[in-house]
Amino acid sequence: MMIKYYDITNFGAIGDGKTDNAKAIQQAIDACSENSGGMVYIPSGIFMSGPFNLKSNVEFHVSANATVLANPNEMVYTQSAFKENYGEGSIWIGGKDAVNVTISGQGTIDGNGPAFMGPEEKAAYVLKDFDTFDRRPHLFTPINFRNLIIKDVTFKNSAYWCLHLVGCNDVVIHGIKLLNNMKIRNSDGIDPDHCKNVRISDCYIESGDDCICPKTRREYEEYGPTENITVTNCILKSTSCSIKLGSENMDAIRNVVISNCIIRSSNRAIGIQNRDEGVVENIIFDNIIIEGRLFDNVWWGKAEPIYVTAYKRQPGNARDANWRFAKGQTTGKVGVVRNILFSNIIANSENGVFIGGEKGKIENITLRNVQLTIDKKTQFEGGVYDLRPSDTVGLLKTNIAGFYFDNAKNITLQDCAVNWGDNKPSYFGHALFASEIEKLTIDNLSGEAAFPEKLEPIDLQNCTNVKISSIAF
């Protein structure tokens, strides 16, 4: 069976970088879908466009030397990315209830992000003020798609989240480059939101905000949990957190495996950030190399290579605060984080591992063969763990440890090591600090305090059922 081709120039598209081609692109997509499907073809050229929607049985193919560029006129973006919540962006490329959709090709889809920003400052772009509707477009927001394939294309310069998958099932994302501006806040890479059966592989992602971030937003609660997610063979770089689960999580995030990845120059490498009532469970991180560093306070994270937290969300008067809690509520709850495995991880950063939460909310965490090197490399303030957005402490200023555990149940540390670099500020502390831990198992921990003449390697406070064996200092 021959593939039917629908070249957008046959529908009036002009690749001059100036003409808005949304109408022509949509006509090509509609014709393709209505005639049993085929390929919508983007030839060489720069095709500027306002919003359009992908539909069933369409392969949207961006050829080499072709660019689809978001229209910089924010007034053409009229659909909120979050239904009645108009405070967190709009939709550029969208679609709903579609099946068998593919985005492919060697070309580029460019969100034109800096065009939607205020002035560029040293740490980040200033966000423009708005009254009720933040029109910064999310690059691609498929809602309730089935059998979605995204492969090979380069995505860049998203003004808000780049690939925001909502309620999608059976998704493959393979071999893409995703190059967001490292100074644009909220420029997440891939956000599976209430999605199931998602496979992300062989991708290169640079993103100002989180690179890959499974979540369950309240606006789309009808689509259920996010579950059965794999991420493998990816290289990630973030001014915030490279791999984050949460923080928006009103349902469950579960059954996630992330393996064989390299994390470069990131403000936080791996984060589980539970702030809502949903559960995070059954998660594996394996075979990961981490390079971390501190950035400015406008970005969340304090160079923690591994970060597991469960704190109630901070109430506030931000523009989107009323969407963070259940309907009619101004305060929330936090769910349990449990059954998490970190294994075979080499990390070099400016901070250590942090695991902490409210009483009874973190349990069954195993760290196996986690090798840490902690060294001060930047001029940004250290001696801080970033617990934002929590209803307790936002920025916890304290001596840092190789492993810092606070208020959890059943933590196992096996075949792990802590090494301190040559640049050791005074706030570098113990190899292991643990407080209020019920059942702590330490087997073959190698390392000493940053200043062994002043500090013991291990400091345990109010811990019960502690088992220690094979310690080398």
Q: Which domains are delineated in the chain?
A: 5-469 (2.160.20.10)
Q: Quick one: which of 350, 253, 366, 254 has its CA closest to 305?
A: 350
- Asked if 432 and 406 count as a contact pair (C-beta separation under 8 A), the reply is no
User: Rounded to an integer, what distance in angstroms lies between the CA atom of residue 88 and that of residue 235?
Assistant: 27
User: Rounded to an integer, what distance in angstroms lies between the CA atom of residue 142 and that of residue 165?
Assistant: 5
Instruction: Going residue by residue through the chain, which has 473 residues, state the pLDDT in tens, using 9 for 90 and above.
Output: 688 999 999 999 999 999 999 999 999 999 999 999 999 999 999 999 999 999 999 999 999 999 999 999 999 999 999 999 999 999 999 999 999 999 999 999 999 999 999 999 999 999 999 999 999 999 999 999 999 999 999 999 999 999 999 999 999 999 999 999 999 999 999 999 999 999 999 999 999 999 999 999 999 999 999 999 999 999 999 999 999 999 999 999 999 999 999 999 999 999 999 999 999 999 999 999 999 999 999 999 999 999 999 999 988 755 566 788 998 888 899 999 999 999 999 999 999 999 999 999 999 999 999 999 999 999 999 999 999 999 888 999 999 999 999 999 999 999 999 999 999 999 999 999 999 999 999 999 999 999 999 999 999 999 999 999 977 77
Encoded tokens for 14: 């002009």
Return the C-alpha torsion angle 329, 131, 218, 160, nearest 10: -150
**Helix (H) / strand (E) containing 384:** strand 384-386
User: Rounded to an integer, what distance in angstroms lies between the CA atom of residue 89 and that of residue 82?
Assistant: 8
In angstroms, how far is CA 85 from the centroid of its own chain?
21
Q: Quick one: which of 405, 335, 343 has its CA closest to 370?
A: 343
- Asked if 311 and 331 count as a contact pair (C-beta separation under 8 A), the reply is no
- pTM metric for this prediction: 0.98
Cis peptide upstream of residue 389 (ω within 30 degrees of 0): yes
pLDDT of residue 314: 87
User: Rounded to an integer, what distance in angstroms lies between the CA atom of residue 15 and that of residue 59?
Assistant: 20
pLDDT of residue 327: 87
pLDDT of residue 318: 58
Q: Give Cα separations from 297 to 185, 303, 425, 427, 435 (angstroms).
A: 12, 11, 19, 18, 27
